């Protein structure tokens, strides 16, 4: 279970996260949706123990992220927005490095790597330098490296970016499997149809604040809209603006 209470993160004069609270129960996929710059990545980095909050409280399976950042990293798998990889290693070398940092027994590591490599069709890239691989392939390597220690909690920041349709579907099925096993997943995406498909609940974050939260159905009712995209645009005050921008474009053509 993840409990976020009145979380604040300030960078200089920017209040990136401005007092947000939410809870993610076991076996739940929670979607963080919000326009660029609204504070999603900052929130997720705090949940993963990567950066410290300015104030507020975050408990992951009862552990305080500020007090036990190393322990948090053992139970959390974090997939950053932009893959952080070593260009001059091959995927196999990188997975072995992650395995040794994580203390994963060799047989187990090999077994897990093989399963993921097969699922994401990475076999032919295993011995090429990471620096030479495409964005989507790097994204897959980043994903796998976050899953190798079999984390109880998954924090995934726009992790479907760059994945081909088949890999995106495999990842989606994998997330549903993790959910069925009772793990927690926090997920950010701009692909609202995807959020609508897999999230049990979503929080709409805007200017560092959660401005609406609930199941997709609850949000549709709340905003009097028929799909999540319209809900999102209405709540983030973009709907009228988009209409006038498109009108202006039409008139100028």
182 touching ligand ADP, by CB under 6 A: no
Determine whether 217 is exposed, middle or buried from the number of CB atoms within 10 Å of its CB (0-12, 13-18, 19+). Answer: exposed
Interface positions, 28-67, toward ligand ADP (CB under 6 A): 34, 36-42
82 touching ligand ADP, by CB under 6 A: no
| Closest CB 209 distance from ligand ADP, rounded Å | 12
The answer to whether the beta carbons of residues 212 and 31 sit under 8 Å apart is: no
- Integer CA distances (angstroms), 27 to 61, 74, 133, 154, 182, in order: 13, 19, 34, 11, 4
Q: What is the pattern of x (binds ligand ADP, CB under 6 A) and - over residues 215-234?
A: --------------------
Stretch that binds ligand ADP, among 9-17, 56-64, 104-112, 136-144 (CB under 6 A): 9-17
16 touching ligand ADP, by CB under 6 A: yes
Binding site for Mg ion (CB under 5 A): 40-41, 81
Q: Which is nearer to ligand ADP, 74 or 81 (by Cβ)?
A: 81
Q: Which is nearer to Mg ion, 90 or 142 (by Cβ)?
A: 142
Calpha distance 119→134 (Å, rounded):
18
Calpha distance 23→143 (Å, rounded):
24
34 is in the binding site of which of Mg ion, ligand ADP, none (Cβ under 5 to 8 A by kind)? ligand ADP
| Closest CB 12 distance from ligand ADP, rounded Å | 6
13 touching ligand ADP, by CB under 6 A: no
Structure tokens at 52: 């410290």
Structure tokens at 219: 């949000």
131 touching ligand ADP, by CB under 6 A: no
Calpha distance 43→51 (Å, rounded):
9
Structure tokens at 142: 């980043």
Nearest to 29 by CA among 148, 181, 219: 181
| Closest CB 183 distance from ligand ADP, rounded Å | 23
Whose tokens are 């976020």? That residue is: 4
């Amino acid at each position: 279970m993840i409990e976020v209470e009145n979380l604040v993160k300030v960078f200089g004069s920017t209040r990136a996260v401005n007092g947000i609270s939410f809870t993610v129960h076991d076996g739940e996929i929670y979607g963080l949706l919000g326009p660029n710059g609204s504070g999603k990545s900052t929130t997720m980095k705090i949940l993963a123990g990567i950066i410290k909050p300015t104030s507020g409280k975050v408990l992951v399976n009862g552990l305080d992220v500020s007090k036990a950042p190393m322990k948090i990293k053992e139970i959390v798998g974090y997939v950053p927005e932009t893959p952080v990889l070593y260009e001059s290693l091959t995927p196999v070398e990188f997975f072995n490095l992650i395995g040794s940092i994580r203390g994963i027994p060799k047989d187990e590591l090999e077994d897990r790597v093989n399963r993921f490599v097969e699922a994401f069709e990475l076999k032919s890239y295993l011995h090429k330098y990471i620096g030479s691989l495409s964005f989507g392939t790097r994204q897959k390597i980043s994903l796998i490296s976050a899953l190798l220690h079999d984390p109880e909690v998954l924090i995934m920041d726009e992790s479907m970016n760059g994945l081909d349709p088949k890999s995106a579907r495999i990842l989606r099925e994998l997330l549903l499997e993790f959910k069925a096993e009772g793990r927690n997943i926090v997920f950010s995406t701009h692909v609202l149809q995807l959020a609508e498909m897999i999230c049990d609940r979503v929080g709409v974050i805007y200017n560092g604040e959660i401005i609406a939260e609930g199941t997709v159905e609850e949000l549709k009712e709340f905003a009097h809209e028929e799909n999540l995209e319209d809900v999102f645009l209405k709540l983030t005050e973009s709907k009228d603006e988009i209409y006038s921008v498109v009108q202006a474009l039409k008139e100028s053509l």
